[in-house]
Structure 1
Amino acid sequence: MNLYSHKPEGYECPFCRIVSGIEKPNKGTKQRDIVYQNKYVTAFIASKWWPNNKGHVLVVPSKHFENIYELPAEIAAEIHRVAQLTAIAMKKTYNCDGVSTRQHNEPAGNQDVWHYHLHVYPRYENDNLYLTKGSYTEPDERPFYAEKLRSWIQKNSQN
C-alpha cells in the first residue's frame, strides 16, 4: 500500500487504459498517439499541450505506480532511457532548440493524474513554457507528431 496515495476511491486510471489498449470516445490519448512501448514503459503524445511546445510526450510505467515513492529503481531507469530516446528523437524531428523533462508528485507537487509520468517537452528559444497554461488538443492534431517520433525511434532504436 502506498502511504502517499492521493487517488480518489474508485479512480479509473487513464494511463492504465492507454497501456492496455482501451480507448474512450473523448479527446484523450489514442493508441495511434503511442510512440514507443515495451513491457516496462509506454511513451505517447500527451493530449494536453502548451501553446509553444506542441507534441510533448509522457513516459509512463506500463504497470501502475502512483508516484515516485513507490516506483522501482529499475523501472525508473527504463523510463529515463526512453525519455532520453524521445528527447533525441525530438531534436532530430522537431528541430527544437532543447528539451525539458519534468515530473510531479502529490497535489502540492502539481500531480493531477495518479499514475507516475515523466513529461518530455520540446523547447524553443523564448517559448515561455513555464509562463503558459496547457489545454486539451483535438485527437487529430496528435498523429503528425506521433508519427515523426515513432518513425525515428523505430529506425534508430535497438529495442
Structure 2
Amino acid sequence: MKIYSHKPEGYECPFCRIVSGIERPNQGTKQRDIIFHNEYATAFIASKWWPNNKGHVLVIPNQHFENIYELPAEYAAEIHKAAQLVAFAMKDTYKCDEISTRQHNEPAGNQDVWHYHLHVYPRYENDNLYMTKGQQSDPNERPFYGEKLRSWIRENG
C-alpha cells in the first residue's frame, strides 16, 4: 500500500515523547495528564482546549504511525476501545450532554501533529465546538479533569 507522509525531515514527535515518559518543562502534555495506558494505546488530557469543551482527550497508538494509512487494524481497534472507555468516563464525570470524536489526516485534513491521534470531546448543547478555535490550556487546570477520568477508569474500566 502507498504511504502518505507529510512529516518534515528530522521531525521530533511530541506524542512519542509522551509515551516514552519524556516531559519538557512548562510545555505540552505531562505524565500526570495520562488517564489510560495499555500495550497499544495511551489516552491523555489534551494540552490544546476549545473554550466550551475543556478536558478533551487524545487517544494515540503507543507506536509511531503518522496517519490512518499506516495504522494497523489491531491498533485501530485498541484505540477505539480506549476512546469508548473515555467517552463513558466523560459522560459520568463531566455530566456532558454528548460525545464527539474526530480524527484528521494530512495537511488539507487539518492534521498538525504527525502521529495518528483521535480526539474525544465532551459536548454540551450549543457549545459551538466547530465554530471555535483551540488554544493552549492551563497546565494547572488539566489535573482536575485528568483525575476525574483516571478515577472513573480505575473503578469501572
Q: TM-score, normalised by structure 2?
A: 0.98
8 Å Cα contact 2:3-2:70 kept in structure 1: no
Match of 2:135 in 1: 135
**For residue 54 of structure 1, what is the aligned residue in structure 2?**
54
Contact 1:2 1:70 in 2 (8 A): no
Compute the displacement of 1:39 (Å).
1.3
Q: Confirm or deny: 8 A CA contact 1:27 1:137 kept in the other structure.
A: no
Runs of 4+ with deviation above 3 angstroms: none
Corresponding letter in the other structure for 1:64:
H
Aligned residue identity for 2:47: S
Post-superposition Cα deviations, 1:4-46, rounded to whole Å, max 9, x if no partner, equal 1000001000000000000001330000000000110000000
Structure 1 regions of 5+ residues with no counterpart?
A: none
TM-score by length of 1: 0.97
Quote the offset at 1:72 in angstroms.
Answer: 0.3
User: Any conservation in 1 of the 2:43–2:57 contact (CA below 8 Å)?
Assistant: yes
Q: CA RMSD in A?
A: 1.1
Partner of 2:5: 5
Percent identical pairs in the alignment equals: 80
| Cα distance, 1:2 vs structure 2 | 6.7
Residue in 1 that maps onto 2:145? 145
Q: Which residue number in structure 1 is paired with residue 123 of structure 2? A: 123
- 1:145 and 1:45 map into 2 onto residues whose CA distance is 7
2-side partners of 1:27 and 1:136: how far apart? 10
Deviations 1:95-137 (A, max 9, x none): 0000000000000100000000000000000000000000001
Q: Does 1:88 align with 2:54?
A: no
- The equivalent residue for 2:31 is 31
